[in-house]
Structure 1
Amino acid sequence: METIVDEPQWLRTASWIGCPLAGAALGWFLQSISGWVASLSWVPFKGPFKLVSEIPQPWGTVTGIGVGLVAGLLFAAVWAHERLIVKVTPARITLTTKGRSRAYEAELEAVFLDGKELVLLAADGRELVRQKGDVDRKAVAKAFLDHGYPWLDEAPAVK
C-alpha cells in the first residue's frame, strides 16, 4: 500500500483554469490603460506602453488578452512542473518534482519539514535529502507515521 501526498485535485484544476484567466484579464487591463500610462510624464519605459496603445482596435484588445492568456498558461505549467509529489510505502519513499522521481530505501533516523523543505535523515545522522516543496504538513506527517517512519514535528537540534 502506498500513500501519495500531492496538491488537491481542485487546486491543480483551478491552476490550469485560473492562471490563464487571470493572465487574460491582466493582459486586457494593461492594454486598456496603456495609452493613459504612456501619457504620464513621470513613468519610465514609456516605449512599450506607447507601442501597445498604438495597436488598432480590436486587435489591441485581442493581442493583450492573448498574450496574457499564454503567460497564464506558462505560469500554470511552471507551477505543475515545480510541485512536489511524495509517495510513501513501508519500504520506499519516492519524491517527484521537475519531472524527475527519486526513490529512497535507506533506514531513516528522522523525517521532518524544515520550513517548506522535506528532510530525510539517514540512520547514521547524515542528511539523505532536503527537497523544497509546498506540501500539506498534516498530510505528509500522517503518510510517514502511517508507514512507520520516525516523523518529527520540528527539526532536531544540531549535534
Structure 2
Amino acid sequence: METIVDEPQWLRTASWLGCPLVGAGIGWFLQSIADWVVSLSWVPFKGPFQLVSDIPDPWGPVAGAGAGLVLGLLFAAVWAHERLIVKVTPTRITLTVKGRTRAYEAELQAVFLDGKELVLLASDGRELAREKGDVDREAVAKAFTEHGYPWHAEPPAVK
C-alpha cells in the first residue's frame, strides 16, 4: 500500500487555469498602466513605459494579454516543477521535487518537518534528505505514522 502526499487536485488545476488568466488580465491593462506612469513627472526611465504606451489600439491590450498569458503559464510550470510529492510505503520513501525523484529505503531515526522542509534522519543520525515544499503537515504526519516511521511533530534535539 502506498500513500501519496501532494497538493490537492483543485489547487493544481487552479494554478494551471488561474495563473494564465490573471497574467492575461494584468497584461490587458498593461497599456493603461504604462499611460499612467508616463503621465507622472517624477518617474525616471520612462522609455520602456512610453514604448508600451505608444502601441496602437487594439494591439496594445491584445499583445499585453498574450504576454501575460504566456508569463502566467510559465509561472504555473515553475510552481508545478517546484512542488514536493511524497510517496510512502512500509519499506520505501520517495520524494519528487524539481523533476528529480529520490527513493530512500534506510532505517530511520526520525522524520519531521523543520519549518517547510521535510527531513529524514538515518538511524545513525545523519541527514538523508531535506526537501522544501508546501506539504500538508497533518497529511504527511499521517502518511509516515501509518507506515510505521518515527514521525516527530517537532525537530528532535541535537545530541
- Tell whether the structures are fold-level matches, with TM greater than 0.5: yes
For 2:43 and 2:118, locate their aligned partners in 1 and report how far apart those are by CA, in whole Å. 44
**After superposition, what is the alpha-carbon deviation per residue over 1:80-113, rounded to whole angstroms, capped at 9, x for unaligned?**
0000000000000000011111000000000000
For 2:44 and 2:148, locate their aligned partners in 1 and report how far apart those are by CA, in whole Å. 59
Q: Which blocks of at least 5 consecutive residues in structure 2 are unaligned?
A: none
Kindly report the root-mean-square deviation, in angstroms, between the aligned alpha carbons of the 2 structures: 0.7
Q: Which blocks of at least 5 consecutive residues in structure 1 are unaligned?
A: none
Q: Match for 2:81: what amino acid?
A: H
2:56 counterpart SS class: coil
Percent pairwise identity: 82
For 2:31 and 2:67, locate their aligned partners in 1 and report how far apart those are by CA, in whole Å. 10
**After superposition, what is the alpha-carbon deviation per residue over 1:36-71, rounded to whole angstroms, capped at 9, x for unaligned?**
211211112211110001000000010010111101
Instruction: Map 1:5-154; keep pairs closer than 5 Å.
Output: 5-154=5-154
Q: Match for 2:34: what amino acid?
A: S
Please, what TM-score do these two structures have when normalized by structure 1?
0.98
Shift of 1:158: 1.5
Q: Match for 2:46: what amino acid?
A: K
Q: How many residues align?
A: 159
Q: Residue 158 of structure 2 aligns with which residue?
A: 158
Shift of 1:9: 0.3
Q: Which moved more, 1:25-34 or 1:111-120?
A: 25-34
Shift of 1:30: 2.1
For 2:58 and 2:135, locate their aligned partners in 1 and report how far apart those are by CA, in whole Å. 43
Shift of 1:29: 2.1
Question: Is residue 34–residue 50 contact of structure 2 (8 Å, CA) maintained in 1?
Answer: yes
Shift of 1:156: 0.8
Q: Which moved more, 1:115-124 or 1:30-39?
A: 30-39
